[in-house]
Amino acid sequence: MIFALLSMIPHQYSSIKFKQSNYKGSLYAGNFADCTLNGFQSEYQRITEYGNTVFEEITKDIYFLEFAIKCKQRLTKESAGLLLLGLVLAGVYTFFKT
């Protein structure tokens, strides 16, 4: 259950590549929720000033989302494996106890 709960927690950009890139993740709400209104508006003004900047931001966001999704998939796979193992062990225990 712990792994299942960990896989349900909202993601954060926490990979080493993200930290080294100095990218702020402007399109993900969790990254600008603590920002002031003026900071938020100036950041979106910077993004939408040129059309290619929007696509660059989207591309970077998708790239760093991949790391969060990969982590969640690993946790989900581990929790499913542990659930199946627990079910098998419970069945074996019940079978041999009776």
Write out the chain's pLDDT in tens, 98 residues: 676 776 676 666 556 666 666 666 666 666 666 778 888 788 788 778 776 777 887 887 788 778 778 888 888 888 888 888 988 999 999 998 87
d(CA 93, CA 98): 9
SS (HEC) of 27-49: CCHHHHCCCCHHHHHHHHHHHHC
How high is the pLDDT of residue 10? 63
Q: pTM for the whole thing? A: 0.55
Closest alpha carbon to 6 in 77, 62, 66, 58:
77
How high is the pLDDT of residue 94? 92
Instruction: Report the b/e string of 59-69 with b at 16+ CB within 10 A.
Output: ebbeebeebbe
